[in-house]
Chain A
Amino acid sequence: MRTIISMLSFIVVMALAVNPASAHFGAIIPSNDIVTQDDDRTLGLEVKFIHPMERHYMEMVKPKAFGVIVGGNKTDLLETLKPAKGKGPDQDQDFTFWSTDFKIRKPGDYSFYVEPTPYWEPAEDCFIVHYTKVCVNALGLEEGWDKPVGLETEIVPLTRPYGLWTGNLFTGQVLLKGKPVPFAEVEVEYLNDSPGNPSIVAAPADPFVTQLVKADADGVFSYAMPRAGWWGFAALSEADWKLKQDGQEKAVEIGAVYWVHTRDMK
Protein backbone atom coordinates (compact mmCIF):
# COMPACT_ATOMS: atom_id res chain seq x y z
CA MET A 1 0.00 0.00 0.00
CA ARG A 2 2.77 2.39 0.99
CA THR A 3 4.53 1.65 -2.27
CA ILE A 4 1.42 2.35 -4.29
CA ILE A 5 0.88 5.67 -2.54
CA SER A 6 4.46 6.75 -3.05
CA MET A 7 4.26 5.64 -6.67
CA LEU A 8 1.03 7.61 -7.13
CA SER A 9 2.45 10.72 -5.52
CA PHE A 10 5.51 10.39 -7.74
CA ILE A 11 3.24 10.30 -10.80
CA VAL A 12 1.35 13.38 -9.58
CA VAL A 13 4.57 15.27 -9.00
CA MET A 14 5.83 14.25 -12.44
CA ALA A 15 2.58 15.42 -14.03
CA LEU A 16 2.94 18.79 -12.30
CA ALA A 17 6.58 19.03 -13.28
CA VAL A 18 5.85 18.22 -16.93
CA ASN A 19 3.04 20.74 -17.18
CA PRO A 20 5.20 23.89 -17.21
CA ALA A 21 5.96 23.12 -20.87
CA SER A 22 2.92 25.28 -21.40
CA ALA A 23 3.40 28.76 -20.07
CA HIS A 24 0.94 30.78 -18.04
CA PHE A 25 -0.33 33.89 -19.80
CA GLY A 26 -2.50 36.71 -18.58
CA ALA A 27 -4.83 37.63 -21.44
CA ILE A 28 -7.12 40.43 -22.52
CA ILE A 29 -8.85 39.44 -25.74
CA PRO A 30 -11.13 42.05 -27.34
CA SER A 31 -13.86 41.20 -29.86
CA ASN A 32 -12.26 43.56 -32.41
CA ASP A 33 -8.84 45.16 -32.73
CA ILE A 34 -9.62 47.87 -35.30
CA VAL A 35 -12.99 49.59 -34.95
CA THR A 36 -14.03 51.32 -38.17
CA GLN A 37 -17.08 53.50 -38.59
CA ASP A 38 -19.05 50.55 -39.98
CA ASP A 39 -18.26 48.32 -36.98
CA ASP A 40 -20.20 47.80 -33.78
CA ARG A 41 -18.81 50.35 -31.34
CA THR A 42 -19.41 48.11 -28.34
CA LEU A 43 -16.35 45.97 -27.69
CA GLY A 44 -16.54 42.70 -25.81
CA LEU A 45 -13.45 42.02 -23.68
CA GLU A 46 -12.41 38.79 -21.96
CA VAL A 47 -9.81 38.82 -19.19
CA LYS A 48 -8.29 35.41 -18.49
CA PHE A 49 -5.39 33.45 -17.08
CA ILE A 50 -4.64 30.66 -19.54
CA HIS A 51 -2.28 28.37 -21.39
CA PRO A 52 -3.11 29.90 -24.79
CA MET A 53 -1.71 27.18 -27.03
CA GLU A 54 -3.05 24.26 -24.98
CA ARG A 55 -6.42 25.95 -24.35
CA HIS A 56 -6.25 25.48 -20.58
CA TYR A 57 -7.90 27.85 -18.16
CA MET A 58 -6.68 28.68 -14.69
CA GLU A 59 -8.86 30.06 -11.95
CA MET A 60 -8.75 33.85 -11.91
CA VAL A 61 -10.03 35.84 -8.96
CA LYS A 62 -11.16 39.41 -9.51
CA PRO A 63 -8.18 41.51 -10.69
CA LYS A 64 -6.65 44.27 -8.59
CA ALA A 65 -6.95 46.77 -11.42
CA PHE A 66 -8.51 46.86 -14.87
CA GLY A 67 -8.83 49.92 -17.03
CA VAL A 68 -8.17 51.72 -20.28
CA ILE A 69 -5.99 54.62 -21.38
CA VAL A 70 -7.05 56.74 -24.31
CA GLY A 71 -5.65 60.16 -25.20
CA GLY A 72 -3.52 60.02 -22.03
CA ASN A 73 -6.57 59.64 -19.75
CA LYS A 74 -7.03 56.57 -17.55
CA THR A 75 -10.49 55.16 -16.89
CA ASP A 76 -11.02 52.56 -14.16
CA LEU A 77 -13.19 49.73 -15.50
CA LEU A 78 -12.72 47.24 -12.64
CA GLU A 79 -16.31 47.35 -11.46
CA THR A 80 -17.63 46.61 -14.97
CA LEU A 81 -16.03 43.14 -14.92
CA LYS A 82 -18.42 40.22 -14.60
CA PRO A 83 -17.35 36.68 -13.75
CA ALA A 84 -17.80 33.96 -16.36
CA LYS A 85 -16.85 30.30 -16.58
CA GLY A 86 -14.73 28.48 -19.10
CA LYS A 87 -12.68 25.32 -19.53
CA GLY A 88 -10.43 23.71 -22.07
CA PRO A 89 -11.61 20.65 -24.02
CA ASP A 90 -9.51 18.33 -21.85
CA GLN A 91 -10.29 20.01 -18.54
CA ASP A 92 -13.06 18.49 -16.42
CA GLN A 93 -13.84 21.50 -14.28
CA ASP A 94 -14.90 25.09 -14.96
CA PHE A 95 -12.64 28.03 -14.19
CA THR A 96 -13.46 31.67 -13.61
CA PHE A 97 -12.53 34.38 -16.08
CA TRP A 98 -13.86 37.93 -16.42
CA SER A 99 -15.67 39.75 -19.16
CA THR A 100 -17.05 43.17 -19.88
CA ASP A 101 -18.50 45.35 -22.63
CA PHE A 102 -16.95 48.68 -23.42
CA LYS A 103 -18.47 51.37 -25.59
CA ILE A 104 -16.07 53.27 -27.86
CA ARG A 105 -17.12 56.91 -27.88
CA LYS A 106 -14.20 58.69 -29.51
CA PRO A 107 -11.45 58.00 -32.04
CA GLY A 108 -8.08 56.92 -30.69
CA ASP A 109 -5.93 54.08 -29.38
CA TYR A 110 -7.55 52.29 -26.46
CA SER A 111 -4.89 50.54 -24.37
CA PHE A 112 -6.63 48.15 -22.00
CA TYR A 113 -4.60 46.88 -19.05
CA VAL A 114 -5.07 44.50 -16.16
CA GLU A 115 -3.17 43.94 -12.93
CA PRO A 116 -4.32 40.56 -11.64
CA THR A 117 -4.47 39.53 -8.01
CA PRO A 118 -1.34 37.43 -7.29
CA TYR A 119 -1.88 33.78 -8.25
CA TRP A 120 -0.27 31.16 -6.04
CA GLU A 121 1.40 28.48 -8.17
CA PRO A 122 2.41 25.54 -5.94
CA ALA A 123 4.15 23.77 -8.85
CA GLU A 124 6.60 26.67 -9.17
CA ASP A 125 6.59 27.62 -5.47
CA CYS A 126 5.92 31.26 -6.32
CA PHE A 127 3.20 33.79 -6.95
CA ILE A 128 2.47 34.96 -10.49
CA VAL A 129 1.28 38.45 -11.48
CA HIS A 130 0.92 39.11 -15.21
CA TYR A 131 0.48 42.78 -16.07
CA THR A 132 -1.34 42.43 -19.36
CA LYS A 133 -2.17 44.87 -22.13
CA VAL A 134 -3.91 45.01 -25.50
CA CYS A 135 -4.51 47.97 -27.81
CA VAL A 136 -7.66 48.56 -29.86
CA ASN A 137 -7.66 51.29 -32.50
CA ALA A 138 -10.83 53.23 -33.16
CA LEU A 139 -11.92 55.37 -36.09
CA GLY A 140 -8.56 56.10 -37.69
CA LEU A 141 -6.83 58.08 -34.95
CA GLU A 142 -3.56 56.21 -34.34
CA GLU A 143 -2.28 57.96 -31.27
CA GLY A 144 -1.13 56.44 -27.99
CA TRP A 145 -0.17 52.84 -28.79
CA ASP A 146 3.55 53.54 -28.22
CA LYS A 147 3.10 55.06 -24.76
CA PRO A 148 3.71 53.07 -21.55
CA VAL A 149 0.74 52.71 -19.20
CA GLY A 150 3.01 52.98 -16.15
CA LEU A 151 2.70 49.41 -14.83
CA GLU A 152 5.40 47.82 -12.64
CA THR A 153 6.50 45.85 -15.69
CA GLU A 154 5.15 46.16 -19.22
CA ILE A 155 5.88 45.63 -22.89
CA VAL A 156 5.82 48.81 -24.94
CA PRO A 157 5.29 48.09 -28.65
CA LEU A 158 7.77 49.44 -31.18
CA THR A 159 5.66 47.97 -33.98
CA ARG A 160 2.20 49.53 -34.20
CA PRO A 161 0.23 46.71 -32.52
CA TYR A 162 -2.73 46.57 -34.93
CA GLY A 163 -3.08 46.24 -38.69
CA LEU A 164 -0.59 43.35 -38.66
CA TRP A 165 -0.39 40.74 -41.38
CA THR A 166 0.48 37.12 -40.75
CA GLY A 167 4.27 36.89 -40.98
CA ASN A 168 4.89 40.45 -39.78
CA LEU A 169 7.59 41.06 -37.23
CA PHE A 170 6.37 42.32 -33.87
CA THR A 171 8.96 44.33 -31.97
CA GLY A 172 8.57 45.52 -28.41
CA GLN A 173 10.59 46.77 -25.49
CA VAL A 174 10.40 45.19 -22.04
CA LEU A 175 10.27 47.68 -19.16
CA LEU A 176 10.58 47.04 -15.44
CA LYS A 177 9.77 50.09 -13.31
CA GLY A 178 10.04 52.16 -16.47
CA LYS A 179 13.56 50.95 -17.37
CA PRO A 180 14.52 48.52 -20.18
CA VAL A 181 15.27 44.95 -19.11
CA PRO A 182 18.49 43.80 -20.86
CA PHE A 183 18.28 40.31 -22.36
CA ALA A 184 14.78 39.72 -20.98
CA GLU A 185 13.31 36.33 -21.86
CA VAL A 186 10.07 36.65 -23.75
CA GLU A 187 7.73 33.68 -24.05
CA VAL A 188 5.49 33.59 -27.12
CA GLU A 189 2.30 31.60 -27.59
CA TYR A 190 -0.46 31.40 -30.16
CA LEU A 191 -4.03 31.54 -28.88
CA ASN A 192 -5.41 28.31 -30.28
CA ASP A 193 -8.93 29.50 -29.47
CA SER A 194 -8.48 32.59 -31.69
CA PRO A 195 -11.76 33.37 -33.46
CA GLY A 196 -11.45 32.23 -37.07
CA ASN A 197 -8.62 29.75 -36.39
CA PRO A 198 -9.47 27.13 -39.06
CA SER A 199 -7.92 24.23 -37.17
CA ILE A 200 -6.43 23.71 -33.73
CA VAL A 201 -2.64 23.68 -33.92
CA ALA A 202 -1.05 20.56 -32.45
CA ALA A 203 2.51 21.17 -31.30
CA PRO A 204 4.91 18.47 -32.51
CA ALA A 205 7.09 18.97 -29.39
CA ASP A 206 7.03 21.08 -26.23
CA PRO A 207 9.31 23.86 -27.52
CA PHE A 208 6.64 24.61 -30.13
CA VAL A 209 4.01 25.24 -27.45
CA THR A 210 5.87 28.14 -25.89
CA GLN A 211 8.45 29.75 -28.11
CA LEU A 212 11.19 31.83 -26.57
CA VAL A 213 13.05 34.92 -27.74
CA LYS A 214 15.54 37.00 -25.81
CA ALA A 215 15.67 40.76 -25.86
CA ASP A 216 18.85 42.64 -26.71
CA ALA A 217 20.81 44.87 -24.32
CA ASP A 218 18.07 47.53 -24.58
CA GLY A 219 15.27 45.11 -23.74
CA VAL A 220 14.09 45.08 -27.37
CA PHE A 221 12.79 41.82 -28.85
CA SER A 222 11.20 40.78 -32.15
CA TYR A 223 9.11 37.84 -33.30
CA ALA A 224 7.55 37.03 -36.70
CA MET A 225 4.03 35.63 -36.29
CA PRO A 226 3.38 32.66 -38.60
CA ARG A 227 -0.41 32.32 -38.30
CA ALA A 228 -3.54 34.49 -38.26
CA GLY A 229 -5.09 35.08 -34.86
CA TRP A 230 -4.03 36.34 -31.46
CA TRP A 231 -0.41 36.17 -30.24
CA GLY A 232 0.70 36.62 -26.64
CA PHE A 233 4.12 37.87 -25.54
CA ALA A 234 5.15 37.41 -21.90
CA ALA A 235 8.38 38.84 -20.50
CA LEU A 236 9.03 37.45 -17.03
CA SER A 237 10.99 39.00 -14.18
CA GLU A 238 11.23 38.29 -10.47
CA ALA A 239 9.75 41.04 -8.30
CA ASP A 240 11.95 42.71 -5.69
CA TRP A 241 9.11 42.11 -3.22
CA LYS A 242 7.77 38.93 -1.63
CA LEU A 243 4.36 37.63 -0.67
CA LYS A 244 3.43 35.28 2.14
CA GLN A 245 2.00 31.82 1.60
CA ASP A 246 1.28 29.75 4.74
CA GLY A 247 3.42 32.15 6.76
CA GLN A 248 6.46 31.81 4.49
CA GLU A 249 7.82 34.49 2.20
CA LYS A 250 7.64 33.44 -1.44
CA ALA A 251 9.03 34.90 -4.65
CA VAL A 252 6.71 36.71 -7.07
CA GLU A 253 7.05 36.22 -10.82
CA ILE A 254 5.91 39.40 -12.55
CA GLY A 255 5.11 39.17 -16.23
CA ALA A 256 4.74 41.91 -18.81
CA VAL A 257 2.24 40.53 -21.30
CA TYR A 258 1.10 42.02 -24.61
CA TRP A 259 -1.42 40.66 -27.13
CA VAL A 260 -1.54 41.39 -30.86
CA HIS A 261 -3.76 40.16 -33.66
CA THR A 262 -2.68 39.14 -37.17
CA ARG A 263 -4.67 38.55 -40.35
CA ASP A 264 -3.83 36.65 -43.52
CA MET A 265 -3.19 38.62 -46.71
CA LYS A 266 -5.86 37.68 -49.19
Chain B
Amino acid sequence: MKILNYLFIPFLVSLLLSGIALAHKVNVFAYVEAGKVYTESYFPDGGRVEGGKVLVYDSQNNLLLEGVTDKNGEFSFDIPKVDDLNIVIEATMGHKNSFKLKKSEVEAGK
Protein backbone atom coordinates (compact mmCIF):
# COMPACT_ATOMS: atom_id res chain seq x y z
CA MET B 1 0.00 0.00 0.00
CA LYS B 2 2.83 2.38 0.92
CA ILE B 3 4.48 1.64 -2.37
CA LEU B 4 1.29 2.51 -4.19
CA ASN B 5 1.19 5.85 -2.37
CA TYR B 6 4.76 6.58 -3.38
CA LEU B 7 3.88 5.89 -6.97
CA PHE B 8 0.59 7.73 -6.86
CA ILE B 9 1.81 11.03 -5.41
CA PRO B 10 4.46 11.73 -8.07
CA PHE B 11 1.84 10.81 -10.65
CA LEU B 12 -0.58 13.42 -9.23
CA VAL B 13 2.18 16.01 -9.05
CA SER B 14 3.16 15.41 -12.65
CA LEU B 15 -0.48 15.73 -13.71
CA LEU B 16 -0.73 19.08 -11.94
CA LEU B 17 2.53 20.31 -13.42
CA SER B 18 1.59 19.35 -16.95
CA GLY B 19 -1.75 21.15 -16.48
CA ILE B 20 0.02 24.32 -15.46
CA ALA B 21 2.38 24.06 -18.40
CA LEU B 22 -0.51 23.95 -20.82
CA ALA B 23 -2.46 26.78 -19.28
CA HIS B 24 0.58 28.99 -18.75
CA LYS B 25 2.20 29.22 -22.12
CA VAL B 26 4.85 31.92 -21.89
CA ASN B 27 5.11 34.70 -24.49
CA VAL B 28 7.65 37.35 -25.33
CA PHE B 29 7.11 40.54 -27.31
CA ALA B 30 9.69 43.11 -28.35
CA TYR B 31 9.76 46.55 -29.94
CA VAL B 32 12.39 49.15 -30.69
CA GLU B 33 12.29 52.79 -29.67
CA ALA B 34 15.02 55.45 -29.68
CA GLY B 35 17.90 53.02 -30.02
CA LYS B 36 16.68 50.59 -27.40
CA VAL B 37 15.03 47.20 -27.63
CA TYR B 38 12.23 46.70 -25.10
CA THR B 39 11.02 43.20 -24.27
CA GLU B 40 7.94 42.13 -22.33
CA SER B 41 7.39 38.55 -21.18
CA TYR B 42 3.95 37.45 -20.07
CA PHE B 43 1.50 34.62 -19.62
CA PRO B 44 -1.75 34.61 -21.64
CA ASP B 45 -3.79 35.82 -18.64
CA GLY B 46 -1.61 38.92 -18.29
CA GLY B 47 0.63 37.62 -15.50
CA ARG B 48 4.20 38.86 -15.92
CA VAL B 49 7.22 36.57 -16.12
CA GLU B 50 9.51 37.68 -13.29
CA GLY B 51 13.10 36.52 -13.23
CA GLY B 52 12.89 34.88 -16.65
CA LYS B 53 16.05 34.56 -18.71
CA VAL B 54 16.10 36.53 -21.99
CA LEU B 55 18.54 35.45 -24.70
CA VAL B 56 19.13 37.54 -27.83
CA TYR B 57 20.44 35.92 -31.01
CA ASP B 58 21.32 37.39 -34.41
CA SER B 59 20.25 35.91 -37.75
CA GLN B 60 23.25 33.54 -37.68
CA ASN B 61 22.12 32.25 -34.29
CA ASN B 62 25.04 33.87 -32.45
CA LEU B 63 24.18 34.79 -28.87
CA LEU B 64 24.53 38.58 -28.60
CA LEU B 65 23.50 39.13 -25.01
CA GLU B 66 21.32 37.85 -22.22
CA GLY B 67 19.46 39.27 -19.26
CA VAL B 68 16.76 38.72 -16.67
CA THR B 69 13.19 40.09 -16.63
CA ASP B 70 12.13 42.40 -13.80
CA LYS B 71 8.87 42.15 -11.81
CA ASN B 72 6.96 43.63 -14.77
CA GLY B 73 8.36 40.97 -17.09
CA GLU B 74 10.47 43.62 -18.79
CA PHE B 75 14.06 43.65 -19.93
CA SER B 76 15.57 46.27 -22.24
CA PHE B 77 18.93 46.81 -23.89
CA ASP B 78 20.66 49.00 -26.49
CA ILE B 79 20.38 47.74 -30.07
CA PRO B 80 23.21 45.18 -30.22
CA LYS B 81 23.23 44.82 -34.02
CA VAL B 82 21.08 45.86 -36.97
CA ASP B 83 19.92 42.41 -37.99
CA ASP B 84 16.96 40.04 -37.64
CA LEU B 85 16.97 39.36 -33.91
CA ASN B 86 15.61 36.24 -32.29
CA ILE B 87 14.60 36.97 -28.72
CA VAL B 88 14.09 33.93 -26.50
CA ILE B 89 12.42 33.85 -23.10
CA GLU B 90 13.21 30.97 -20.77
CA ALA B 91 10.93 30.93 -17.73
CA THR B 92 10.87 28.38 -14.93
CA MET B 93 9.94 24.73 -15.50
CA GLY B 94 11.19 24.72 -19.06
CA HIS B 95 8.67 27.27 -20.40
CA LYS B 96 10.17 28.79 -23.47
CA ASN B 97 9.12 30.92 -26.41
CA SER B 98 10.67 33.32 -28.87
CA PHE B 99 9.93 36.48 -30.80
CA LYS B 100 11.40 37.50 -34.12
CA LEU B 101 12.25 41.17 -34.34
CA LYS B 102 12.70 42.03 -38.01
CA LYS B 103 15.77 43.90 -39.21
CA SER B 104 13.48 46.56 -40.70
CA GLU B 105 11.98 47.22 -37.26
CA VAL B 106 15.43 47.43 -35.65
CA GLU B 107 16.52 49.81 -38.42
CA ALA B 108 13.40 51.97 -37.95
CA GLY B 109 13.97 52.25 -34.19
CA LYS B 110 17.63 53.31 -34.29
The verdict on A248 contacting chain B, using a C-beta distance below 8 Å, is no
Could you pull out 15 A-B pairs where Cβ atoms are within 8 angstroms? Answer: A37-B99, A37-B100, A105-B31, A139-B27, A139-B29, A140-B25, A140-B27, A140-B42, A140-B44, A141-B29, A141-B44, A141-B46, A142-B44, A142-B46, A143-B46
Question: How distant is the Cα of A105 from the Cα of B31 in the complex, in angstroms?
Answer: 8
- If the complex has contacts A37-B99, A37-B100, A107-B40, are A142 and B45 also in contact, measured as CB distance less than 8 A? yes
Contact A143 B45 (CB under 8 A): yes
Closest residue of B by beta carbon distance from A71: B46
Complex: chain B residue closest to A160, CB-CB: B44
Number of A-B contacts (CB under 8 A): 27
Report yes or no: A107 in contact with B45, Cβ–Cβ below 8 A: no
**Distance, CA A116 to CA B106, complexed state (A):** 40
Most buried by A among B25, B27, B45, B100: B27
Q: Is A106 an interface residue (CB 8 A)?
A: yes
Residues of B near A142 (CB, < 8 A) are 44-46
CB-defined contacts of B29 to chain A, threshold 8 Å: 106-107, 139-141
Number of interface residues of B (CB under 8 A): 11
Q: Given A105-B31, A106-B29, A107-B27: A141 and B42 within 8 A (CB)?
A: yes
Give the bracket for the number of chain A residues in contact with chain B. Answer: under 10
**Binary CB contact string for chain B from 14 to 30 against chain A (1 if under 8 A, 0 otherwise):** 00000000000101010
B92 CB to closest chain A CB, in angstroms? 18
Q: How far is the CA of A106 from the CA of B27 in the complex (A)?
A: 12
Q: From DSSP, what is the main secondary structure of chain A's interface residues?
A: loop
8 A Cβ contacts from A129-183 to B:
139-143
Which B residues form the contact surface with A (CB < 8 A)? Answer: 25, 27, 29, 31, 40, 42, 44-46, 99-100
State the main secondary structure of chain B at its contact with A.
strand
Shortest CB-to-CB span from A104 to chain B, Å, is: 11
Bound-state CA distance A37–B85 (Å) is 13
Q: Please report the C-alpha to C-alpha distance between residue A224 and residue B37 in the assembled complex, in whole angstroms.
A: 44
Closest residue of chain A to B29 (Cβ to Cβ) is A107
Whole-angstrom distance from the CB of A93 to the nearest CB of chain B?
A: 44
In Å, the complex CA distance between A107 and B29 comes to 7
B45 CB contacts on chain A under 8 angstroms: 142-143
Docked CA distance A51–B110 (Å): 48
- A247 and B44 alpha carbons, distance in the complex (Å): 53
- Contacting residues, chain B, for A37 (C-beta < 8 A): 99-100
Q: Which of B27, B31, B100 contacts A141 (CB 8 A)?
A: B27
CA distance A107 to B30 in the complex (A): 10
Q: Is there an interface contact between B31 and A107, defined as CB atoms closer than 8 Å?
A: no
Chain A residues near B42 (CB-CB < 8 A): 107, 140-141
Measured CA separation A107–B99 after assembly (Å): 12
Give B54 Cβ to nearest chain A Cβ, in Å. Answer: 16
A-B pairs, top 6 by smallest CB distance, nearest first, are A140-B27, A143-B46, A142-B44, A107-B29, A139-B29, A141-B42
Interchain CA distance A143-B25 in the complex, whole Å? 14
Contacts of A106 in B (CB 8 A): 29, 31
Residues of chain B within 8 A (CB-CB) of A105 are 31
**CB-CB < 8 A to B40: which residues of A?**
107
- Docked pose: A107 CA to B44 CA in angstroms: 10
Instruction: Please measure, in the bound complex, the distance between the C-alpha atom of A37 and the C-alpha atom of B27, giving whole angstroms.
Output: 11
Known: A37-B100, A107-B42, A141-B42. 11 other contacts (CB 8 A): A107-B29, A139-B27, A140-B27, A140-B42, A141-B27, A141-B29, A141-B44, A141-B46, A142-B44, A142-B45, A143-B45
Nearest CB in chain B to that of A107: its residue:
B29
Complex CA–CA separation, A147 to B100 (angstroms): 30
